[in-house]
Amino acid sequence: MSTTTSTSTSAVEEVAYNDDVLMEILLLLPAKSLVRFKAVSKHWHSLISTSSFSHLHTLRHCKPQPSFLLRAAPSLFFYFNPTIKKFLQFHLNFAHPKILQSCHGLLLLECGSSLSVNRDYYVYNPTTGESRKLLLEKESLLGLQLAFDPSKSPHYKVICVSNTSYSIHFCEIQVYDSGSRTWKRLEEVFTSSEFRKFDQGVYWNNGIYWIASGGQILRFDIEKCIFESSPATMIASRGRRSLNMVNLMESSGRMHCVLHKDTMSSLLLVYEVTDNGNNWCLKYSFNFDLVTASFGERTCGKISVMGIITGERKEELSLVFHIPGKILACRFYDGSFEELLDLRVLKFYREGQLLFGYHDAYQFIEALAPV
């Protein structure tokens, strides 16, 4: 018996002090478990904390099922996992935090009350609890965007768009690189007559995308550091101002544009970008009236699209959306509906009201990405 125990102990010690074997085992575990395992020993903490380990872990878990961070009030957030239907309060330990963007496990935060002129900006990893404050000029700030693709690099970039000091009709770009921890100001300035909303961009395919008022899509190429624009005929043909909702959404490496004409219309259209970002094709149309038929719930024009998620197979796309009292999913591949969450049991639920707006839902994955 003692021989068996001695042999087992020896085997455990051999694994614990063999970095190659230990790393292969640890790489199989989810990110949140690894954060807890840092407390096992200084050696484990050192191994798990390296940028090379976090990069390898991300590559091994390259297609995680995304969850959502939902904002119900200025500083009240919830975590929602549509796969296991888990819903709980989510704490951001910052003063008056606002999520500007979520990108592959990292959050871009703006912190400061609505009455405060001075606000701080952070890149934050909720899984590891690590954060980095961004030092930037805030007086003429038009927008900040986070660009992070862990499959290409363990480092992220932050794109800062601001007015020039001499004219509000021109903007300038600064790019922060987490690898060098430095800002670089681009020499070229850009006209900004049609693009005034630089706070709702989406990162996809090595670029930041915005929708302009004239039905154009503006792209900032992160590698070339240039702006490009292309027509979005599905928006221009309907008139940007006549649309109740136009949202760009990225999920699992795919970019979609979701259109809802107006509150009286029951039709929602979903387009997907093709040809490396040059063309858009209609992939799905969704009728809200089917919700009434399936669940007996009247939306009364109140609907909030939270995001589009991908199943185990690429073609298994689902639209996750919120109507008063419920979070639902519409499976595009078979046209079926599923109730994911009944919100009427929540203490702060209000009859007939949406708890989360269009820009209050952020897709989120757990990752070890360093900040």
pLDDT in tens, 278-329: 788 888 888 877 877 677 666 666 788 899 988 777 778 899 999 888 999 9
Same domain (yes/no): 108, 193: yes
CA atoms within 13 A on the CB side of 122: 22
Is residue 53 classed as helix, strand or coil in its secondary structure? Answer: helix
Residues 342 and 258 in one domain: yes
Beta bridge partners of 269: 259, 285
Q: Among 52-56, 97-101, 115-119, 344-348, which is the least confidently predicted range?
A: 115-119
Do 148 and 235 share a domain, yes or no? yes
The per-residue pLDDT for 329 is 92
Q: Looking at residues 121-125, what average pLDDT do you find?
A: 97
In a domain, 133, yes or no: yes
pLDDT of residue 98: 94
Pair 90, 16 in one domain = no
* Residue 371 forms part of a structural domain: no
Whether residue 58 has pLDDT greater than 60? yes
pLDDT at 123 over 90: yes
| 34 and 91 fall within a common domain | no
Q: Mark whether 39 and 163 lie in a shared domain.
A: no
Indicate whether 67 belongs to any domain.
no
Q: Is residue 291 part of a domain?
A: yes
Whether residue 37 is found in the same domain as residue 58: no
Residue 312 lies in a domain: yes
Share of the chain above pLDDT 70, in %: 87
58 and 34 within one domain: no
Range of the domain at 352: 50-62+73-364
Task: Give phi and psi for 370, each to the nearest 5.
Answer: -75, 150
Q: Confirm whether 94 is domain-assigned.
A: yes
Are 160 and 282 members of one domain? yes
Please report the pLDDT score of residue 191 as a whole number. Answer: 75
* 267 found inside a domain: yes
* CATH number for position 331: 2.120.10
Which stretches within the chain are classed as H helix? 2-16, 19-26, 31-37, 42-49, 51-60, 233-236, 289-295
Residues 150, 41 within the same domain: no
Task: Say whether both 82 and 226 belong to one domain.
Answer: yes
Q: Over 90: is that where the pLDDT of 29 sits? A: yes
Who wins on pLDDT, 215 or 173?
Answer: 173
148 & 280 share domain: yes
What is d(CA 282, CA 271) in angstroms, rounded to the nearest whole number?
4
Q: Which of these ranges, 124-133, 156-165, 350-359, has the smallest mean pLDDT?
A: 350-359
Highest mean pLDDT among 9-18, 239-248, 270-279, 324-333: 324-333
Q: Which residues have a Cβ under 8 Å from the Cβ of 313 and sit 6 or more positions away?
A: none
Q: What is the mean pLDDT of residues 17-37?
A: 90
| Mean pLDDT value across the chain | 84
Q: Are 201 and 143 contacting, i.e. CB atoms less than 8 angstroms apart?
A: yes
Residue with tokens 């979005």: 232
Q: Is it the case that residue 13 has pLDDT exceeding 80? A: no
This prediction has a pTM of 0.89
**Number of domains, the chain:** 2
Task: Please determine, for residue 3, whether its predicted confidence score (pLDDT) is greater than 70.
Answer: no
The residue that leads in pLDDT, 315 or 162, is: 162
* pLDDT for position 334: 86
**Residue at 369 is within a domain:** no
What's the confidence (pLDDT) of residue 118? 80
* The 3-state secondary structure of the chain, one letter per residue: CHHHHHHHHHHHHHHHCCHHHHHHHHCCCCHHHHHHHCCCCHHHHHHHHCHHHHHHHHHHCCCCCCEEEEEEECCEEEEEECCCCEEEEECCCCCCEEEEEEECCEEEEEECCCCCCCCEEEEEECCCCEEEEECCCCCCEEEEEEECCCCCCCCCEEEEEEECCCCCCEEEEEEEECCCCEEEECCCCEECCCCCCCCCCEEECCEEEEECCCCEEEEEECCCCEEEEEECHHHHCCCHHHCCEEEEEEECCEEEEEEECCCCCCEEEEEEEEHHHCEEEEEEEEECHHHHHHHCCCCCCCCEEEEEEECCCCCCEEEEEEECCEEEEEECCCCCEEEEEEHHHCCCCCCCCCCCCCCCEEEECCCCCCC
Q: How far apart are CA 99 and CA 73, in angstroms?
A: 12
What does the buried/exposed string (b/e) look like for 253-278 if buried means 16 or more CB atoms within 10 Å of the residue's CB? ebbbbbbbbeeeebebbbbbbeeebe
